[in-house]
Structure formats: C-alpha cells, structure tokens
Structure 1
Amino acid sequence: MERYLLHFKNEKYLPQNCRDLARKGRDLVSDMNVSVRLARVATKFIEFDIAAEKEDLDTLVKRLSLIGDVDNVRHVVEEHITKDKGIEDGIFYYNNERFWECHEAFEGVWKQCYGREKELVQGIILVAVAFAHQQENEESIGIGMLSRALEKLGTSPSMYHSIDVDKIRKHVIEMQKANKLTRFEI
C-alpha cells in the first residue's frame, strides 16, 4: 500500500471533529482495502492520511467526497530535492496550513544540513509539527513542543533564506505565554 494525503474543502469542521471525521472516513470505505490513519482539520481543508493501492484511489476519493469537495491529492514519497526547493515547498505548505507536508519538506532540508543549521531547521520543523497536533485536536501536545522548538531555534541568525527566524521566535514565546497555538505565516 502507498501513502496519500487527501485534502477536502472544509466549510464547517474544527480540529475537535478530527476523530469523528476519521471514523466517518473509515465507515465510508469500510469495504475497501484502505487504511484511514487519521484526519487533520485546518481552516480551509480536511486532511486525511491514507494508505491505499493506487488503483483504489479514484474510488476512495469519490467516497470521501461526501465529506467535502476534493481539493488536493498527494502521493507521499520521499523526495530528493534541492535544499532551496525544500525550503520553498516548506514555506508554501506552512503558510497554507499543510503542516505535516511542511514537516516533510523541511525534513528533506534538514537531511542536507550540518551543525547549527541542522538545529535551526529542526526548530522550524517542531513549530510545524506543533500545528499539525493542533489540527488533530491535540493542542496541549503542540504547546508542549514549543520549548523544544525555541531551544532548537536558539540564537540563530535572524534570517534563514527568506524565513524571518526572529518572527518565529517571537510568536513561539507569545504562544507559550498564552498557552495557545496561534497561526502565523513564515
């Protein structure tokens, strides 16, 4: 089986609905050889993390479309891309609330880094993963990750490519004080 991230337009669901949506998704495909691992709820879409055979994908998407209109289907495979492309993709995914994909993109960057740069990228990854937990209605886990993210971001330079690291640090500190994850763009 292959792994896919399926995005459906969201008009009414909140992260608190993620487990019910995962169950509903499993019910809609219960007679198929697929695995609905989990659902994440973002402002504009619902993301299903799925394991399925490629030949079942069209039927799977059609059935899950009862939850919302399909927005995006992505086959999850380890990509070997340049550091610059990984950063560009990571920023795009982060700013579009596709936090798990942001994590994956920056993990590809992280694998190409050494020393202090590696830690900085890991800090960015941890912020993205914190928001992915929020989308799974696990905000307290996400908030708990902020200390580690801040530690990894450390006193790194204020800019990393086009990413304002000072802005990230500032938001992380504010979220820690408020004990609440608040989305921002990077």
Structure 2
Amino acid sequence: MERYLLHFKNEKYLPQNCRELAHRARDLVNDMDVSVRLARVATKFIEFDVAAEKKDLDPLLEKLSPIGEIDNVRHVVEEHIDKEKGITDGIFYFNNERFWECHEAFEGVWNQCYGREKELVQGIILVAVAFAHQQENEESIGIGMLHRALEKLGTSPSTYHSIDIDRIRKNVIDMQQSKKLTRFEI
C-alpha cells in the first residue's frame, strides 16, 4: 500500500472533531482495503493520512466525499529534495497549515545540514509538529514540545534563508506563557 495525505475543504470542523472524523472516514470505507490512519483538522481543510493502493484512490475519494469537497491529494514518498526547494516547500506548507508536510519538507533539509544549522532546522520542525498535534486535538502535547523547540532554536542567527527565527522564538515563548498554540506564518 502507498501512503497519501488527502485534504478535504473544511467549513465547520475543529481539531476536537478529529477522532470523530477518522471514525466516520473508516466507516465510509469499511468495505475497501484501505487504512485511515488519522485525521488532522486545520482551519481550511481536513487532512486524512491514509494507506491505499493507487488503483483504489479514486473510489476512496468518492466514498469520502460526504465529508467534504476534495482539495488536494499528496502521494507521500521518501525522496531526496534540493535543500532550497525543501525550505521553500516547508515555508509554504507551514503558512498553509499543512504542518505534517512542513515537517516532512524540513526533515529533507535537516538531512542535508550539519552542526548548528541542523539544530536550528530541527527547532522549526518541532514547532510544525506541535501544530500538527494541535490539529489532532492534542494541544497539550504540542505545548509540551515548545521547550525542546526553543532549545533547538537557541541563539541562532535572526534569520534562516527568508525565515525570521527571532519571530519564531518570540511566538514560541508567548505560546509557552499562555499555554496555548497560536498559529502564525514563517
């Protein structure tokens, strides 16, 4: 089976609905040989992490259509990505609340880094993963990750490519103090 991230347009669901949505999706496809691993709920979309054969993708999307209109399908494969492309993709995914994909893109960057740069990129990844946990209605886990993210961001330079690291640090500190994850763009 192949791994896919399916994004459906979201008009009414909150992260608190993620388990209900995962169960509903599983019920809708219970006669298919697919696995709905989990659901994440963002402001504009619902993301399902699924395992399916390529030939079953169209029927799968049809069966899940009562949940919402399909917005995006991404085949998740391990690939070597150019560092600059990984950074550009990671920023796009972060700013569009596609935090798991942001994590994946920056992991490709991280694999090409050394020393202090490697830790800085890991800090960005940890912030993205914290938000992915929020989308799974696990905000307390996400908040718990912020301390480690801040350690990794450390006293690194104020910018990394076009990313304002000082702004990320400030947002992480603010979220730690408020004990609430508040989305922002990088």
TM bucket normalised to smaller: over 0.9
Counterpart residue number, 1:6: 6
Matches within 5 A, 1:96-111: 96-111=96-111
Aligned to 1:85: 85
1:118 corresponds to which residue? 118
Q: Which runs of 5+ in 2 are unaligned?
A: none
Distance in 1 (CA, whole Å) between partners of 2:164 and 2:65 is 37
Partner SS, residue 106 of structure 2: helix
Specify every segment of 5 or more residues in structure 1 that has no aligned partner in the other structure, as ranges: none
SS of 2:66's equivalent in the other structure is: coil
For 2:156 and 2:175, locate their aligned partners in 1 and report how far apart those are by CA, in whole Å: 20
1:65 shift after superposition: 1.3
Q: Percent identity?
A: 84
Aligned amino acid, residue 17 of structure 1: N
Q: Give TM-score scaled by structure 1 length.
A: 1.00
Aligned partners of 1:24 and 1:94: how far apart in 2?
A: 27
Report the AA paired with residue 40 of structure 1.
R
Deviation at 1:80, TM superposition (A): 1.1
Alignment coverage as a number of residue pairs: 186
Correspondence for 1:66: 66
Q: What code does the residue aligned with 1:127 have?
A: V
Matches within 5 A, 1:158-173: 158-173=158-173
Per-residue deviation, 1:81: 1.3
Deviation at 1:79, TM superposition (A): 1.9
TM-score w.r.t. structure 2 length?
A: 1.00
Other structure's SS at 2:36 match: strand
Equivalent-residue separation in structure 2 for 1:111 and 1:80 (angstroms):
9
CA drift of 1:78 comes to 1.1
Residue 144 of structure 1 aligns with an amino acid whose one-letter code is G
- Measure, in 1, the Cα distance between the counterparts of 2:78 and 2:52: 17
Output one character per residue of 1:62-89: Cα deviation in whole Å (capped at 9) or x when no partner: 1111100000000000121110000000
